[in-house]
Homo-oligomer: A and B are copies of this chain.
Amino acid sequence: MQIDLNADMGESFGPWTMGDDAAMLDIITSANIACGFHAGDPVVMDRTVRLAAQKGVGIGAHPGFDDKRGFGRHRILGLGATEIRTMLIYQLGALQAIARSAGATVRHVKLHGALANMASENVELASQFTEATATADADLIIVAMAKTQLETAARQSGNPVAAEIFADRAYNDDGTLVDRKTKGAVLQDPQVAADRVLKALEDQAVTSVNGVEIPVNPATVCVHGDNPVAVRMADRIRTRLDQAGVQVRPMHSFIGR
């Protein structure tokens, strides 16, 4: 059994720091690096890429809406197909060049925040993203939440795909996440979270809040590192997976070419 652990990285900006990237890079195996639109800047991107490369962590682009104040979490409506395509390629290309200049390679791409949520629900947006990615780099692994429109579009793109599950989130029967505002939507216990991951690997399924088995074939698990508690949670999940004999490895080592 093998799995990748991914987390958002490089979310500092100018004088402002977010998260403890150095600590997280010892835990995770793939880093989703902000590309300067919702967070990050060229210096932060460069520093994060080099640190990830040094620790053997896979480097991924994490493009989002151009909205730092809202941290890419506000849905922005009405962007045309060309706007979506070019803003994605712009961000991806910027990170690729920074990675290249550090002797590293961008291996995957994962949408951020509201853009990710919208692409999970909207097949048109999902296709715009996956086609832009395919055009930009046919080898890039597309990270897509399992069972979403985004996963469907990614599978059709021809690019390699990493289906993603969330360690710490409760699932509805249809495979969507329980709304954060609902009690129990976010798991607090690392043991329970790690068990969910193990189970998903063994059974190829996650269990919904109603006990329904949802078939999944996860390649990567999303963990968080934006605060000390989150880092601790990620660390415990990693430890438990290691102890269970799961190979925790960068997604690019077992997906794609």
The interface of chain A, by Cβ under 8 A from chain B, is 12-18, 36, 39, 41-43, 45-46, 66-71, 73-79, 82-83, 85-87, 89-98, 100-101, 114, 132, 135-136
Contact sample, A vs B, 9 pairs, CB 8 Å cutoff: A13-B69, A15-B71, A42-B87, A43-B82, A43-B86, A70-B79, A74-B79, A93-B96, A94-B97
Q: How many copies does the complex hold?
A: 4
For A42, A95, A132, the residue with the greatest tally of chain B CB atoms inside 10 Å of its CB is: A42
- Distance (Å) between the CB of A16 and the closest chain B CB? 3
Q: How far is the CA of A90 from the CA of B92 in the complex (A)?
A: 10
B135 touching A101, Cβ below 8 Å:
yes
For A79, the chain B residues whose CB sits under 8 A away are 70, 74
- A41-B69, A42-B83, A70-B79 known; 4 new pairs, CB 8 Å cut-off, are A77-B77, A92-B97, A93-B98, A94-B97
B90 touching A45, Cβ below 8 Å:
yes
For A12, A75, A85, A93, the residue with the greatest tally of chain B CB atoms inside 10 Å of its CB is: A93
- Distance (Å) between the CB of A43 and the closest chain B CB? 5
A95 touching B93, Cβ below 8 Å:
yes
8 Å CB contact of A86 from B13, B39, B42, B100: B42
A97 touching B96, Cβ below 8 Å:
yes
For A79, A86, A92, the residue with the greatest tally of chain B CB atoms inside 10 Å of its CB is: A86
